Structure 1
Amino acid sequence: MLLAIEVLIESFSLINVFAVKWYGESEFWLALGKVILAVGLILYTFITMVGGNPLGDKYGFRFWKDPGSFGEVYSTGSLGRFCGFLACLVQASFTVAGPDYISMAAGEVENPRTVMPRAYNKAFGRLMAFFVLGSLCIGIVVPYNSQELIDGFKGGAPGAAASPYVISMNRLRIRVLPDIVNALVLSAAFSAGNSYVYCASRSLFGLALEGRAPKFLTRCTRNGVPIYCVLLVLVISLLSFLQVSSGTAQVLRWFVSVITASQLINFSVIAFTYTRFRKACAAQGLSRDSLPYKGILQPYLAWYAFAGCIVMTLLNGFPVFIKGNWKLASFFFSYTMVGVFPLLYFGWKLLKGTRVIKLENVDLYQDVAEIDEYTRNFTPTRAR
C-alpha cells in the first residue's frame, strides 16, 4: 500500500510538473480505458444473466427477489429499507463531481462557443447512461447481503477486490477477467487522481490571479505550469498515507464524507449563481436566445438542483443521528464544510468589504467583444 501511494504521487508530479504537455494525451487513453471498462461490465452483466457463464446459470433478476432489491440498514421493515435507499443516495452524491470540470477547459479549447455546448450535451448524456446502467447492473450481478461484499467493504479490500463484478466473476468461476477488471479499475483511479491534481491546481491558480489566494501561487514555470499550486495540491495528497495506519475503509469513509459535502455545496452555489445570472439577464434585457448555450426547463431545474443539493448536504451524515450510531469523527467529517462554507463567505466579505451586486449592475458583457472578435476570425487548426 505504501509503495503504491508513493508511485501514484510521483506519477502525478511527473505529469503535472515536468510533462504537462502530455497531460491531455495521457487522459485520452486513460479515459478510453474507463469507457471500455464501463461498456464491458454492462455487456458482462447482460451476457452472464442470460446464461453466458461457465456455470450456465441463468440468474436474471434472481437477486431482486431473494434477498430483494432493497436492503435494510439501521432499522427493519419499511424504515430500514428507506434508510438503505438514503444511504445509497448519499454515496451516489459523491460521484456527482466531473461534469463541472468541463467548464474549466473553456479557456483552453478552440472555438469554445461551438465546442463547449456539444461537450456539455454529450458529457451529461454519457454520464447518465453509464451511471444509471452501471447502478442497475450492480444490483443484478450480486445480492446486497453477499458475505464477500460485506467483508470486502468492512475490511477495506484493496483494488477491486470488493467490487460486485469481481465477486460475481468469482461466483461464476470466470478466470482472468477479474484481473483485467482490477487493472482497469486501478487505471481509472489513477486517471481520477491525475485529473483532480490538474483541476485543483488550476482552480487555485485562478483564485491567486484574482487576489483570493496568496500572490506567490501565481508563479509559473517556463512551460506555464503554476508550480507552487501544483506542489501545494501534491502536499495535500500526502494525506493519503493515513490509509496505511488507520485502515483503508475508515479513512476512505472520512474523506468521502468531506468531499461529498464540499461537492454538494459547490453544486448548490453553481445552481444559485445561475438563478442570479438569469435574473440579471432579465433585468438588463438580455435574451437567453442570444446565448451560445441555453439549458432546458430553466430556472426550475436550477432551483431543483439547489434545493436537492442543500437537502443532501444536510443528510450527508444522517446515520450518526440514529440511536446507537453516534460517532464524533463521523459527525465532524460529514458536517465540517457546512460550517466552514458560511465562515469563508461572510468572513471574506467582512475582511474585504465586498457587497452583493445589484442585478442591474452585474457586468454581463465583460470580455464579450474579445470573444466575438475571436469567433469571427476563428480558423480551425489543422490536425498534425
Structure 2
Amino acid sequence: MSYSPEKGALDEKHAKGANAYGGDPEASPAFDSGETIVGENKLHQDLKGRHMQMIAIGGAIGAGLFVSSGGAFQSGGPAAVLLGFMIVGAMVYLVMQALAELAVLYPVNGAFNMYICRFVDPSWGFACGWQYAISWLTVLPFEISAACNIIHYWPGSEGINNAAWIVPLLVALVVIQFFGVKGYGEVEFVLSIMKITACIGFMFLGIIINCGGVPTDDRGYIGAKYWHSPYTAFLNGFHGFCTVFVTAAFAYTGTELTGLAAAETANPKKEVPRASNQVVWRIAIFYIVNLFLIGLIVPANSSLYKAEGSTSRHSPFVIAIQLAGIKVLPSIFNAVILISVMSVANSCTYGSTRTMQALAANGMGPKLFAYVDKKGRPVSVIVLQLLFGCLAFINLAPNGGDIFTWLLSLSGLSILFIYGSISLAHIRFRHAWKANGHSVDELPFKAKFGVYGSYVCLLINVLALIAQFYVALYPIGGPNLDAKNFFENYLAGPFLIGLYLIWKVYSWFMVPSDRPFFVAMKDIDIYTGMRDSQRAISGLDVPEEQRRASIASMQAENKKKGPKDYVMGVVRSIF
C-alpha cells in the first residue's frame, strides 16, 4: 500500500507504520482495516459523554481508597498518606493530560500501548501492554474473592461456602459483557453514582464527627488531636512515607481507562479532554479531602485495624463510623465497598480485553484475540478474561491466598511502568512533532503543563519505583533482605524485562524493523492514525496559508469570552 504525498495521502513509510502499530481505519483512510481487526467488524463507538465521566471517576474511586488506604495509615501515618496521595495524584493528573493530548489526536485502538510502541520502542510497548493486560486478568479473580470476603461482614454469611457467591458474581459479569461496551458504560455509570454519593456523604459525616457533633461519640471535639503527641503525623519516618507511594498508585489505577475508551467514544475530541480535566478535581475532592478527614478522626494505631473478620472491617471509613458509635451505617458503607469492588471487576473485563485485542490486532498476540463480532465485542478475549475469573475458586483451597499473592506480584507495579511510559511517549511525540515542522498551536488539545509536565510525571514514577525497591528490600517490621518478600513486592520488574526480551529476540529474526532499542526520532510516524479533521491542519501536504488559517479558526473557537466562560469551565470540570 503506497500513496503519493503529492496527492494528500500517506507515503510508504507511514503506511508501513500504520500496519505495524495502532492505525485506525476510521481515522486513517490509508490504513488497511484487515490489519487491525480480524474480519470486517470493529469496536463500536457507543460510549457517550456521561459514560466517559463515570468511567474515569469509577476508576479513581474503589477498594484502593476505601480499604487499602488503611494499610497506608498504619505504615506512614496521616501526614504521610496525605502528602503521598497528593504527590501521586499530581502525577496521575499530568499523565492524564499527556494521554488526552495523544488520544484526541490519535483515537486508535489500544491507545497508550500503541503510543508507547510508536514513539518509544515496539518491544517496550509489547512488554507494557501485556503486563497491563495480565494485571487486569489476575486482578479479576482477586476482586471476586475480595467481594466474597466483604460479604462475610454481615452476620449469617460465615457458614456459607464462597462458591455460592463466586458463581452469581461471575454470571453478573457475563451478562454485562453480553451488552458490549454500552453495557460496561451503563453499569459503570450507575455504580459510580453510588460511590460518589457515598464519598460526598462521608465528607459531611467526617466534618460532623471531627467537630464533636455525633451524640454517641464520647471523644467530643477531635480537631487535629491524632496529628500530635502522643500520636504522630508521620509513622516510621521516611521509611513509612515510601510505603505510601505504591498504595497511592494502586488506588488511582483505572483512571487511564478513558484513554482506552477513546476508540469506542462517539466524540473523543470533546469527551476525552473533559474527562481528563476533571481528574484534578476528582483527586482533590474524593481522595484528598476524604483521606484528610480520615486522618483527623481515626488514630493510625486504632485496634480496629487489626480486628478479625471481613477485610472491609479494616476499612478506615468503616472504622471511622464505628468509633463514632453510629449504628447501621457501617453496614451500609460495607455495601458501598462491595459495590466498589464489583466496579473494579467490571473495569477488569474492559481493561484487559481491549488491551489484548489491540495487541493481537497489531501482530503482538494470537490472531484469535483480535476477533470482534458484529456487535463490537472482542469475544475471544472476553471469554479468556471470564475464564481467568474462575481462578477465584482457588481461594477455596487452604493455600489459595499464597497463589493469589504470586499472581498479583507479576504485575503489582505495572501501573507505574505504564504511567512512566505514557509520559516518555508524550515527550518523544512532542519532539517528533517539532522536528517535522509542526507547532503546538495545531494540536486540538494541549496538555496543561506541556512536555515539562511529562518530565515531572516521569521523574515521580522513577522515584516511586526506587521507593518501592527500597521497601521491598527493607520492609517495615522486616525481614530485611529476604528474597521471598522482595519478589512478592517487586516481581513485576523482572517480569516486565522478561516480556521485553521476548519481543526483542522474536523481532530480531521476524520483525527486523523492531531491532533498534528505541525508535529513532527521524523514523517516528506522526501522521498515521491521525483523525481526519486534523489532516486539514497538520497533514503532510497542507499549504502553510491553510495551516495558519485553520490554527486561527481553532484558537477563535476555543477562546473564552469573559469571566462567565471561565467560571462555567470550572463548573463543568467539577460536575
- Structure 1: distance between partners of 2:402 and 2:224: 32
Instruction: Provide the secondary structure at the position in 2 that maps to 1:99.
Output: coil
- Structure 2: distance between partners of 1:43 and 1:374: 51
Structure 1 residues 336 and 39: CA distance shift in structure 2, 3 A: same
What corresponds to 1:382 in structure 2?
none
AA matched with 2:360: A
What corresponds to 1:63 in structure 2?
226
- Structure 2: distance between partners of 1:229 and 1:93: 26
Displacement of 1:231 in angstroms is 1.6
**1:200 partnered with 2:352:** yes
Normalised to the residue count of structure 1, the TM-score between the two structures is: 0.86
Counterpart pick for 2:190 among 24, 29, 50: 29
Counterpart pick for 1:145 among 292, 295, 301: 301
What corresponds to 2:262 in structure 1?
106
- Structure 2: distance between partners of 1:176 and 1:235: 37
Instruction: Provide the secondary structure at the position in 2 that maps to 1:316.
Output: helix
Does the 8 Å CA contact 1:205/1:229 hold for their aligned counterparts?
yes
Deviations 1:60-95 (A, max 9, x none): 2221124434354xxxxxxx3221222122211212
- Structure 2: distance between partners of 1:253 and 1:326: 19
Counterpart pick for 2:274 among 111, 114, 118: 118
Deviates more, 1:318-327 or 1:283-292: 318-327
Deviations 1:139-180 (A, max 9, x none): 11210111111x14xx5x425211122222222210111111
Structure 1 residues 39 and 258: CA distance shift in structure 2, 3 A: farther
AA matched with 2:173: F
Structure 1 residues 122 and 335: CA distance shift in structure 2, 3 A: same
Structure 1 residues 182 and 38: CA distance shift in structure 2, 3 A: same
Displacement of 1:28 in angstroms is 0.7
Displacement of 1:136 in angstroms is 1.0
Displacement of 1:185 in angstroms is 1.1
Does the 8 Å CA contact 2:427/2:451 hold for their aligned counterparts?
yes
Counterpart pick for 1:342 among 481, 487, 497: 497
Give matches, 1:265-304, under 5 Å.
265-304=417-456
Counterpart pick for 2:467 among 275, 292, 315: 315
What corresponds to 1:328 in structure 2?
483
- Structure 2: distance between partners of 1:240 and 1:308: 34
Displacement of 1:258 in angstroms is 4.4
What corresponds to 1:83 in structure 2?
239
Structure 1 residues 239 and 345: CA distance shift in structure 2, 3 A: same
Instruction: Provide the secondary structure at the position in 2 that maps to 1:68.
Output: coil
- Structure 2: distance between partners of 1:20 and 1:107: 11
AA matched with 1:331: F
Gaps of 5+ in 1: 73-79, 377-384
- Structure 1: distance between partners of 2:374 and 2:191: 27
AA matched with 2:271: V
Instruction: Provide the secondary structure at the position in 2 that maps to 1:299.
Output: helix
Instruction: Provide the secondary structure at the position in 2 that maps to 1:198.
Output: helix
Instruction: Provide the secondary structure at the position in 2 that maps to 1:106.
Output: helix
CA RMSD between the two structures: 2.7
Structure 1 residues 341 and 117: CA distance shift in structure 2, 3 A: same
What corresponds to 1:77 in structure 2?
none
- Structure 2: distance between partners of 1:83 and 1:366: 46
- Structure 2: distance between partners of 1:97 and 1:200: 13
- Structure 2: distance between partners of 1:321 and 1:242: 29
Normalised to the residue count of structure 2, the TM-score between the two structures is: 0.59
- Structure 1: distance between partners of 2:466 and 2:407: 17
Identity of aligned residues (%): 27
Counterpart pick for 2:210 among 45, 49, 56: 49
**1:364 partnered with 2:526:** yes
Displacement of 1:18 in angstroms is 5.3
- Structure 1: distance between partners of 2:202 and 2:405: 25
Deviations 1:163-220 (A, max 9, x none): 1222222222101111111111111110111012112101111111111110011223
Structure 1 residues 373 and 235: CA distance shift in structure 2, 3 A: same
Gaps of 5+ in 2: 1-147, 149-161, 538-549, 551-575
- Structure 2: distance between partners of 1:259 and 1:163: 24
- Structure 1: distance between partners of 2:531 and 2:448: 27
- Structure 1: distance between partners of 2:451 and 2:419: 15
Deviations 1:294-323 (A, max 9, x none): 113332221222122123223325344236
- Structure 2: distance between partners of 1:174 and 1:291: 53
- Structure 1: distance between partners of 2:175 and 2:231: 48
Does the 8 Å CA contact 2:409/2:492 hold for their aligned counterparts?
no
- Structure 2: distance between partners of 1:287 and 1:320: 44
Does the 8 Å CA contact 1:257/1:316 hold for their aligned counterparts?
no
